[in-house]
Amino acid sequence: MKITSARVIVCSPGRNFVTLKIETDQGLTGIGDATLNGRELAVASYLTEHMIPCLIGKDASQIEDIWQFFYRGAYWRRGPVGMTALAAVDMALWDIKAKAAGMPLYQLLGGRSRSKVMVYGHANGKDIDDTVEAVLRYKEQGYVAIRAQSGVPGLASTYGVSKDKLFYEPADADLPTENLWSTTKYLNHVPKLFAKVRDAVGDDIHLLHDVHHRLTPIEAARLGKELEPFKLFWLEDAVTAELQEGFRLIRQHTTTPLAVGEVFSSIYDCQQLISEQLIDYIRTTLVHGGGITHLRRIAALAELYHVRTGFHGATDLSPVTMGAALHFDSWVPNFGIQEYMRHTEATDEVFPHDYHFNAGFLYCGETPGHGVTIDEKLAAKYPYQRAYLPVNRLEDGTLFNW
């Protein structure tokens, strides 16, 4: 089955998405997500200029060989732009292979390990009371796992806290917005938030929190320790993870479970974190981690060390990633949880899909392939719009982590 054409579709139905479509001489087509928030056109160009010319004429069924060709063959390995582009190719090829087999993708991976995929929703509010209310609303909708983020007193704006309760869109301007940050104010606030949230929601709901890489290991250790009474499901991205051994310090001090990895692009970013059992959940998902072919290796390594998956699933990961991820989640033995932030109606219309949400769980469909397509005519009505993630500064002006 030869690849006859491949093209990149960039569209912005409420936010930017980059999609790769691969066509074959047998009439089968597949699509993959190539969206890298705030750097979309770099991946689009990497695909168009450097990968697509090499793809034409290759046998679409040789997924592993094509993966190795672009990973080893490029000489310049890893990195978010290259691995996102590779992920799009990989996802599209798995889509084609599953369609050729007449099977939903999870069947090719090894079949179902579970009937439904537990997801967590995003509750956020401007202050503690507002956040508690948002958490209770998620609980009413049937969610069994809820992430809670709240504004911090004394800080004008905080990441993850939007005006809209179901969507939040961090890439909010055509030049980066600047936020201000105070670790002291944040650390004083979060334990108070979770005391109230746990009290309101009861013991049966899983609670999660995202620090967004803003603490040092010893600060994260203190936060983890102070949050222990509230039994979090996980504390996410407590510190930046370029220094993998930094997590040892956090681990020595707290039993609060740790999740990290949404910005990772390969197994080498988490090898030490996993093999030293420094984390409990690996967040890297298909689109930024080289696709299904590479995530299978990460999940298999993680399984050895009692680390479970907790795939990234914010709105900047397109429905294509969500569809493929749900097949992976339905199969992978060491599944933990799946992040779920709803896409806008416009996005859902551009990317028709067969997965659905019901009472706290997502269900992948039974259509052959990963179950997501793209309406190209509709996509063309939403041209690319430059949009950046914000940057974050300390109150004295020092540029800080976002």
Ligand X SMILES: O=C(O)C(=O)C[C@H](O)[C@H](O)CO
Instruction: Between 52 and 270, name the residue whose CB sits nearer to ligand X.
Output: 270
CB of 376 to ligand X, least distance (A): 25
List 46, 120, 143, 159, catalytic entry: 159
- Gap between the terminal Cα atoms of the chain: 44
For residue 170, the partner it binds in ligand X, Mg ion, none, with Cβ less than 5 to 8 A by kind, is ligand X
CB of 4 to ligand X, least distance (A): 33
Question: What amino acid occupies position 379?
Answer: A
Helix ranges restricted to H, 48-150: 52-55, 63-71, 80-101, 105-109, 128-140
CB of 171 to ligand X, least distance (A): 7
Distance, in Å, from the CA atom of 327 to the CA atom of 325, rounded to the nearest integer, reads: 5
Instruction: Between 6 and 389, name the residue whose CB sits nearer to ligand X.
Output: 389
CB of 389 to ligand X, least distance (A): 6
Distance, in Å, from the CA atom of 270 to the CA atom of 289, rounded to the nearest integer, reads: 11
* Residue 281 annotated in active site: no
CB of 155 to ligand X, least distance (A): 17
SS3 179: strand
Place of tokens 């936060």: 223
For residue 314, the partner it binds in Mg ion, ligand X, none, with Cβ less than 5 to 8 A by kind, is ligand X
Instruction: Between 172 and 375, name the residue whose CB sits nearer to Mg ion.
Output: 172
Beta bridge partners of 120: 339
For residue 23, the partner it binds in Mg ion, ligand X, none, with Cβ less than 5 to 8 A by kind, is none
Distance, in Å, from the CA atom of 308 to the CA atom of 255, rounded to the nearest integer, reads: 16
Number of residue whose CB is nearest Mg ion? 210
E strand or H helix that includes residue 183 = helix 183-201
> In the structure encoding, which two tokens stand for residue 8, read together?
């990149």
For residue 33, the partner it binds in ligand X, Mg ion, none, with Cβ less than 5 to 8 A by kind, is none
29: left (phi over 0), alpha (psi -120 to 50) or beta: beta
Q: Could you say which residues in the range 214-273 bind Mg ion, by CB under 5 A?
A: 262
**Chain residues that interact with ligand X, rule: CB under 6 A:** 37, 170, 210, 212, 262, 312, 314, 316, 339, 389
CB of 333 to ligand X, least distance (A): 24
CB of 149 to ligand X, least distance (A): 9
Quickly count helices (H) and strands (E) in the chain. 14, 16
For residue 37, the partner it binds in ligand X, Mg ion, none, with Cβ less than 5 to 8 A by kind, is ligand X
Instruction: Between 170 and 291, name the residue whose CB sits nearer to ligand X.
Output: 170
Q: Could you say which residues in the range 193-222 bind Mg ion, by CB under 5 A?
A: 210
Instruction: Between 66 and 232, name the residue whose CB sits nearer to ligand X.
Output: 232
Instruction: Between 37 and 347, name the residue whose CB sits nearer to ligand X.
Output: 37
Instruction: Between 149 and 330, name the residue whose CB sits nearer to Mg ion.
Output: 149
Query: Phi, psi at residue 315, to the nearest 5°?
Result: -65, -20
Q: Count of CB atoms within 10 A of residue 130's CB?
A: 16
CA-based nearest residue to 285, from 327, 241, 244, 222: 327
DSSP 300-338: HHHHHTT-EEEE---TTS-HHHHHHHHHHHHH-TTEEEE
* Residue 159 annotated in active site: yes
List 122, 189, 209, 212, catalytic entry: 212
SS3 41: helix
User: How many residues interact with Mg ion (rule CB under 5 A)?
Assistant: 2
E strand or H helix that includes residue 33 = strand 29-33
For residue 392, the partner it binds in Mg ion, ligand X, none, with Cβ less than 5 to 8 A by kind, is none
| Active-site amino acid positions | 159, 212
Q: Rule CB under 5 A: which residues touch Mg ion?
A: 210, 262
